[in-house]
Structure 1
Amino acid sequence: MTRSVVTDVRPWGAAASDLVIENGTIADIRPTGTAQPAGTTVIDGRGLLALPGLINAHAHLDKSWWGRPWVPYGGEPTTQGRIAHERAHREELGIPSPESTTALVRELLSFGTTAFRSHVDVDLGVGLTGIQLVREAVAAVDPGIGLQIVAFPQDGVLRRPGVLDLLDRAAAEGADHIGGLDPASIDRDPVGQLDALFDIADRRGVGLDIHLHDRGELGAFQYELIIERTRATGLAGRVNVSHGFALGNLTPDRQLEIVDAMAEAGVSLSTVAGVTAPRLPNTMLRAAGVPVGLGTDGIRDLWGPFGDGDVLRLAGTLAQLAGWRRDEDLLSAARIATSAAAGFVGRERHDLVVGAPADVVLLDAQNPQDAITRAPARDIVVVAGNVVRG
């Protein structure tokens, strides 16, 4: 048994405590200064604020050119235009790249992200190779990092014959979820795409995570189709809508109708807190009990040059977009980026509690609210009980 203790930390800003870690799990939380058995590895927490490891609930780890010479952005500013631009240039840049993915994961880990849900492109050009590449890259950085894979059909589903078979294979070979993409505007057959995806998910026992960029009533209609199929297949708690921009530009009554239906059906939502996207009704989602995940989306890829990978900073942006200023709201944003996102990475618990994975971020801040508003440097990062930064 491996045993360590992180001494003198303030979990969620509470009184100073020692976190006892055994075999990668938090085994006990004791008052600071409690004697430890001989042979215990001691990590000095220096009175720092302790938060659970950050969770990136929507990443694209396979797409990045991180660590390589600068790549100028091109392409039309539409979903289809960006798909076409990526397809035209990814091969010449060697994307997906083991080196870039590994470098990106290291960078994200330095900001305290210890678990990911990553969408990985699955299409007729790359097949399923990106899935294994991402798994190997994450394991090479640290095998304790949490990872859930979404087999993602970035170029469409029905409009590209053969992609459904690839998604079925990915599910059969261990992908945690299969993805979808704008069933109406990309495939122009929302019923057909969703029926096919739900069939695979139901047969293979995997989750669904569907990119939905379509706005207004077109997007709302697809929300309703997803909710209907979630109820019919009994996949409550295993279906997620990514982006879901339509919720941001509906009337309040229509928003509430869809949000309540999501909560009842067990459909979650993940956002990247985009500053140019319609503002999601985060307070309404929270009140209804809809799980919300937060992620970075793509970082320095052929879709755009932006992103530094700091989920804590993104949580501050989410709070600003939601109009959250009170302490309880800022705490909610901190939990969206950490403990409340456990289900997005397949964990029952992801918190500073006994029995949870020993993923801990230490930083010089008064409390979670201070951390959210400043995003100070991460002094120490612990993954499954092992110090990976600091």
Structure 2
Amino acid sequence: MPLVLRNVRPWGGDPADVTLDGGAITAVVPAAQAWTAAPDAGTEPGAGVVDGRGRILLPSFSDVHVHLDSTRLGLPFRPHTGSPGVWNMMLNDRTNWRDAEASITERATHTLGLMITRGTTRVRSYAQVDTDAGLERFEAVLAARETHRERADVAVIAFPQAGLRREAGSADVLEEALRLGADVVGGIDPCALDRDPVKHLDTVFGLAEKYRRPVDIHLHEPGQLGLFSMELILERSRALGMQGQVTISHAFALADLPDAQLGPLLADMAELDVSVATVAPATALPLERLTTAGIRVGLGEDGQRDYWSPYGNADMLDRTWQLAFTNRFRADELIEHCVAVATVGGASVIDPLAQRLTSVADRPGLSVGDPAELVLVEGDSVAAAVMDKLPGRTVIHSGRVVADGLQLA
């Protein structure tokens, strides 16, 4: 059934009436002058109507880096017990995740629901697979996806959080998850964690080639070590013809490489269409430069108040604020660019054929023919909506309202 969004402001612009049908936007026209007096004027027979109340219409959020399999949102606050380092933090998680007050399936399902109510309808979630968890965490994320299948699109990354070389059998568990339908092959710190980048990347890309899956590699490695790993990733991407199928998550090295190395690296990433997923870390990536270089960039919330970190609240609008803040953006255009990254930018990381950002001024996703993946937010402007993060939101997935006022429909 068609759905008409009355009196909305696409990207904070002039009021418009927006019609959705068949999972896409089918019309965008100036808001009817007398719509408040005659709310059915101009609505085709049988169409539903949402009162936009002058709110801002945006593409819905795309969370491209979240760990639904470790969340503690909805449970009592727990003091942080981890110690520094990826391996130590992983061991802390391994020690505690089974002892939570609710099962991992319940927690993942609850957190995914919270994300949807706050405006996220496209998700790429990790699911840890290792010799300790086996497929238990992977199956929990699949269950959460199934529960919310009519409310959001969720891709699942089989993620070897403990590496592939430190524990015998790790690669076998990763492959089993791919046999069972994982959407993406994960990898992590081939040098710093596994200390064998050639064998680690051979395993990841070998499985990607065998099962015809894209790749997403966590890369916390800084500086020259991170550059070395990225060059190896690009080398394999080129050799296997995987243009558009590789994502580097975190990519912290991009924040501290000298320009003489950063420039050629970004050019190679753009040539191979390697995308970046960031979580808005304290040391900001060169966001504007990535976009102007033609590199797809998306945003994610990472862990959600889990055994790794007490941060996270399932709200991508809040994480968009963090992206603007860590980049020290003040101008409205740059804050809006952060929104574009968190919405359409992330969608293009998930699907390389989707519309992508080409400059910091791009505001796509709300034209006729675009997917009806939308969120209405309160605010005088897009920048104000990011600053205020108000609760009056309506979330639309595939042309249907799936949440309103921070409650699932």
User: How far off is 1:168 after superposition?
Assistant: 2.2
The correspondence of residues 29-48 of structure 1 with structure 2, limited to 5 A, is 29-33=28-32, 35-48=42-55
For the 8 Å contact 2:125–2:157, the answer to whether it is kept is: yes
Distance 1:21 1:128 in 2: 39
Aligned partner (choices 94, 97, 105) of residue 98 of structure 1 = 105
Q: Could you say which residue in structure 1 is the equivalent of 2:359?
A: none
Distance 2:115 2:342 in 1: 13
For the 8 Å contact 1:227–1:265, the answer to whether it is kept is: yes
The correspondence of residues 1-390 of structure 1 with structure 2, limited to 5 A, is 2-33=1-32, 35-93=42-100, 97-141=104-148, 143-275=150-282, 278-346=283-351, 348-349=354-355, 351-387=365-401, 388-390=403-405
What's the secondary structure of 2:3's corresponding residue? strand
Distance 1:367 1:215 in 2: 37
Code of the residue aligned with 1:269 in structure 2: it is V
User: How far off is 1:43 after superposition?
Assistant: 0.8
Code of the residue aligned with 1:32 in structure 2: it is A
The change in CA–CA distance for 1:326 and 1:193 in structure 2 (over 3 A counts) is same
For the 8 Å contact 2:75–2:101, the answer to whether it is kept is: no
User: How far off is 1:95 after superposition?
Assistant: 7.5
Code of the residue aligned with 2:330 in structure 1: it is R
For the 8 Å contact 2:275–2:349, the answer to whether it is kept is: no
The change in CA–CA distance for 1:358 and 1:315 in structure 2 (over 3 A counts) is same
| Root mean square deviation of aligned Cα | 1.9
Code of the residue aligned with 1:338 in structure 2: it is T
Code of the residue aligned with 1:98 in structure 2: it is T
For the 8 Å contact 2:248–2:276, the answer to whether it is kept is: yes
Ranges in structure 2 where 5+ consecutive residues have no aligned partner = 33-40, 356-363
TM-score (norm: length of structure 2): 0.89
Cα deviation, 1:90-123, whole Å, max 9, x if unaligned, reads: 1222786121112211221222111111011111
User: How far off is 1:207 after superposition?
Assistant: 0.6
Distance 1:167 1:304 in 2: 25
Ranges in structure 1 where 5+ consecutive residues have no aligned partner = none
TM-score (norm: length of structure 1): 0.93
For the 8 Å contact 2:178–2:211, the answer to whether it is kept is: yes
What's the secondary structure of 2:367's corresponding residue? coil
Code of the residue aligned with 2:389 in structure 1: it is A
Number of aligned positions between the proteins = 387
For the 8 Å contact 1:110–1:378, the answer to whether it is kept is: no
Cα deviation, 1:313-347, whole Å, max 9, x if unaligned, reads: 22222223223333332222110011122123337
User: How far off is 1:42 after superposition?
Assistant: 0.9
For the 8 Å contact 2:276–2:349, the answer to whether it is kept is: no
For the 8 Å contact 1:64–1:96, the answer to whether it is kept is: no
User: How far off is 1:222 after superposition?
Assistant: 0.3
Distance 1:95 1:218 in 2: 39
User: How far off is 1:10 after superposition?
Assistant: 0.9
User: How far off is 1:364 after superposition?
Assistant: 1.9
Distance 1:131 1:16 in 2: 44
User: How far off is 1:142 after superposition?
Assistant: 5.1
For the 8 Å contact 1:256–1:284, the answer to whether it is kept is: no
Bigger drift between 38-47 and 361-370 goes to 361-370
User: How far off is 1:24 after superposition?
Assistant: 3.1
User: How far off is 1:87 after superposition?
Assistant: 1.0
User: How far off is 1:29 after superposition?
Assistant: 2.1
What's the secondary structure of 2:99's corresponding residue? coil
